[in-house]
Amino acid sequence: MFEAVKDTTRRPGSNRYLRRLLVLCNRLLSERGEANSVSIARDLVAGFRALPDDARGAFFGHLASDFSPDPAALLASAQAYAQSPGAAQLQQVLRDAEPPRQELLRRINRLPGGTADIVAMRRALLGRLGAQPELAAVEADFLHLLGSWFNPGFLQLQRVDWRSPAHLLEQLIQHEAVHTIDGWDDLRRRLQPDRRCFAFFHPQLPDEPLIFVEVALLPDMPAAIAPLIDKTATQPPERSLRTATFYSISNCQPGLRGVSLGNFLIKRVADELKRELPQLRTFCTLSPLPGLARWLRAGAPCESLSRVRAQRLAEAQQTLLAACDGKLERLSDKASLQRLPADAAQALQRLAAIYLTQVSPTTLGDPVARFHLDNGARLERLNPLGDLSEKGLRQSFGLMVNYLYDLKKVELHHENFVLGEVAHSRQLASLL
């Protein structure tokens, strides 16, 4: 038992303590049968939890160096497989290629609560990645396994409302990333009958929402965020609700970064809403452009652009800079922004349109735009002065976007997006 281990190695983080942890890793793996994995895994997890941050770095370093495949053995079996690519050779090469730490994680995952432990370990690992780039392969193994375990077929969609347990609602308040929830009264407004909130859960983390989405049911596609999160807003009559607007999507588990959850969530929520409210005609978002100002400040780089468009881009940049005396940060001032001349306001929209349609398919693109476009949405409308909060002014000079989810076309749009083409409305086309 690890209790004993702890006695002899006074300090978690000492070399001796770390060595014991690695002994546990080896024991957990070396067991031929599987009968005792639970108790060893329990000690291992407890031991890891007690590690101070830098010792965790050392621990992960050992996972990278000591629990990787043996290059020589792998090479030998790859050669055998290349010579004679039969089933036996393939099974051997797979055995030799798989980093032993993958099996280590699988055995930890057998613990009651083991999945949560692994998510927590990965969170720590992600935090070390900047300082220790050599951990990339370890991190890849974590992501690989978590992606398999958190696959959408295993996730459960759950409606969240004022009848949900308080401890769950509390997590919503805490994790809302897009438009901060200001306490219980604010939350209550967001759970009124003209709002919906859904969360994804995994059976192994029954009390921990993975991701949640907030939806406003409205007569029309909204152009600004303020009325949607106004605590005192009155509710329109139910029969007038034709539009479901996804206005906030928040991840709750930093340890699951990179595991795609959101795209499935939106489609399942749309299906769910349609079943409940057949009168819904439109599914759209009201989304921020978190990267716009940054991109403009960087000089609006754009990889490949037709000559005509490149010229329009240059003109619009000029017009906008002229209107703010070359100081883009002025556009983050509400009053200045509201006084912006019409041509400059137009120029700003045109720049945003180019940014969204031309840059999104590249890695320079806006993360929110990439998320929805890759997900099969269509770029529908730009909304100037849509978000006058400090954050909205700073990130995108107040601009917001509606992405439209036409459920019959999401597959088509997605395939086109992968090929570099962004589906967009006539309004957007006219701006280009």
- Give residues with Cβ within 8 angstroms of 15, minimum separation 6: none
C-beta of 39 vs 362, nearer to a copy of itself: 39
Instruction: Give the whole-angstrom CA distance, residue 284 versus residue 291.
Output: 20
* Residue 236 · residue 194 · CB < 8 Å: yes
C-beta of 147 vs 219, nearer to a copy of itself: 147
The CB-of-49 to a copy of itself minimum distance in angstroms stands at: 17
Tokens of 224: 């600004």
C-beta of 65 vs 338, nearer to a copy of itself: 65
The CB-of-161 to a copy of itself minimum distance in angstroms stands at: 9
Question: In degrees, to the nearest 5, what angle opens at C-alpha 314 toward C-alphas 313 and 317?
Answer: 85
- Choosing from 37, 77, 250, 287, the catalytic residue is 287
The CB-of-355 to a copy of itself minimum distance in angstroms stands at: 21
Residue at token pair 């999507």? 249
- Choosing from 37, 77, 179, 372, the catalytic residue is 372
C-beta of 133 vs 237, nearer to a copy of itself: 133
C-beta of 82 vs 177, nearer to a copy of itself: 82
* Residue 52 · residue 94 · CB < 8 Å: no
Nearest to 103 by CA among 66, 145, 48: 145
* Residue 172 · residue 160 · CB < 8 Å: yes
Half-sphere exposure of 322 (CA within 13 A, CB side): 12
Whether 372 is catalytic:
yes
The CB-of-34 to a copy of itself minimum distance in angstroms stands at: 6
- Pairing mode of beta strands 243-251, 282-285: parallel
The CB-of-245 to a copy of itself minimum distance in angstroms stands at: 20
DSSP state of 51: S
Instruction: Give the whole-angstrom CA distance, residue 244 versus residue 288.
Output: 17
Whether 287 is catalytic:
yes
* Residue 195 · residue 216 · CB < 8 Å: yes
Q: Helix (H, G, I), strand (E, B), or coil: what is residue 426?
A: helix
Instruction: Give the whole-angstrom CA distance, residue 237 versus residue 146.
Output: 43
- CA 221 from chain centre, in angstroms, equals 24
C-beta of 129 vs 305, nearer to a copy of itself: 129
- If you count them, how many residues does the chain have? 432
The CB-of-187 to a copy of itself minimum distance in angstroms stands at: 8
The CB-of-89 to a copy of itself minimum distance in angstroms stands at: 9
Tokens of 37: 């994995």
C-beta of 45 vs 348, nearer to a copy of itself: 45
DSSP 348-415: HHHHHHHIIIIITTSTTS-HHHHHHHHTT-EEEEEETTS--SHHHHHHHTT-EEEEE--TTTHHHHHH
List the catalytic residues: 287, 372
